[in-house]
Amino acid sequence: MMNAHLQAVKDDIISKLSAREKEFKFDFAQGNSVEFKRIVESAFKAVIKEGKIALNRQEQDEVLGEVISYFIGSGPIDGFLRDPEVTEIMVNGPGQIYIERKGNLELTDVSFKSEAQILHLIEKIISPMGRRVSEFEPFVDARLNDGSRVNIVRSPVSRIGPLLTIRKFSYRVLHMDDLINLGSITPAAAQFLKAAVESRISILISGGAGTGKTTFLNALIDFIPENERLVTIEDTRELIISKKHTVPMETRPFNIEGKGQISMRDLFKNALHMRPDRIIAGEVRGDEVLEMIQAMNTGHEGSMTTLHASSPLEALDRLEILTLMGSSNMSSEVARRQIIGAVDLVVYLSRFSDGSRRVTQISEVVKAKEYSIQDIFVFDEGSAVLKPVNIKPNFADKLRKAAGYTLPGS
Q: What is the pLDDT of residues 229-258, one digit of tens each?
A: 999 999 888 898 989 999 999 998 877 677
pLDDT at 259: 83
* Sign of the CA dihedral with 268 first, then 273, 274, and 277 last: positive
DSSP H or E stretch at residue 72: helix 57-72
pLDDT at 409: 65
The pLDDT tens digits of the residues spanning 2-11 come to 688 888 888 8
pLDDT at 28 over 60: no
Query: What letter represents residue 130's amino acid?
Result: G
Q: Residue 27's pLDDT band (boundaries 50, 70, 90)?
A: low
Q: Residue 50's pLDDT band (boundaries 50, 70, 90)?
A: confident
pLDDT at 73: 74
Question: Which of 246, 242, 253 shows the shortest CA–CA distance to 271?
Answer: 246
The pLDDT tens digits of the residues spanning 311-328 come to 999 999 999 999 999 988
Length of the chain: 410
Question: Tell me, what DSSP letter sits at residue 50?
Answer: H
DSSP state string for 269-338: HHHTTS--SEEEES---STTHHHHHHHHTTT-TT-EEEEE-SSHHHHHHHHHHHHHHT-SS--HHHHHHH
Q: Residue 24's pLDDT band (boundaries 50, 70, 90)?
A: low
pLDDT at 334 over 90: yes
Q: What average pLDDT is seen over the chain?
A: 90
Who contacts 3 (Cβ-Cβ below 8 Å, separation ≥6)?
none
The pLDDT tens digits of the residues spanning 141-167 come to 888 878 888 999 999 999 999 999 999
pLDDT at 266 over 90: yes
Mean pLDDT of all residues in 349-358: 92
Who contacts 361 (Cβ-Cβ below 8 Å, separation ≥6)?
311, 312, 346, 347, 348, 375, 377, 378, 379
CA torsion 164-167-169-173 (nearest 10°) is 180
Mean pLDDT of all residues in 31-37: 69
pLDDT at 196: 98
* Sign of the CA dihedral with 64 first, then 67, 73, and 75 last: positive
Distance between CA atoms of 24 and 14, rounded to whole angstroms? Answer: 13
From residue 172, how far is each of 44, 81, 165, 218, 290 by CA, in Å? 40, 16, 21, 11, 32
Q: Is 37 exposed, middle or buried (0-12, 13-18, 19+ CB in 10 A)?
A: middle
pLDDT at 138 over 60: yes
Q: Provide the whole-model pTM.
A: 0.80
pLDDT at 139 over 80: yes
pLDDT at 359: 98
Distance between CA atoms of 362 and 388, rounded to whole angstroms? Answer: 9
For residues 194 and 347, the answer to whether their CB atoms sit within 8 Å is no
Q: Residue 299's pLDDT band (boundaries 50, 70, 90)?
A: confident
pLDDT at 18: 74
Question: Which of 290, 295, 294 shows the shortest CA–CA distance to 324?
Answer: 290
Comparison of pLDDT for 393 and 4, the residue scoring more: 393
Distance between CA atoms of 288 and 280, rounded to whole angstroms? Answer: 13
Q: Residue 57's pLDDT band (boundaries 50, 70, 90)?
A: confident
pLDDT at 108: 95
Using alpha carbons only, what angle is made at residue 72 by residues 69 and 78, rounded to the nearest 5 degrees?
60
Distance between CA atoms of 343 and 33, rounded to whole angstroms? Answer: 49
Distance between CA atoms of 110 and 14, rounded to whole angstroms? Answer: 19
Q: Put the strands of the sheet holding 97-101 in their side by side order.
A: 104-107, 97-101, 86-92, 163-167, 149-153, 139-143
CA torsion 64-66-67-71 (nearest 10°) is 140
Helix boundaries (H) for 163-259 = 176-181, 187-198, 213-221
The pLDDT tens digits of the residues spanning 271-290 come to 999 999 999 999 999 999 99
Query: What letter represents residue 126's amino acid?
Result: I
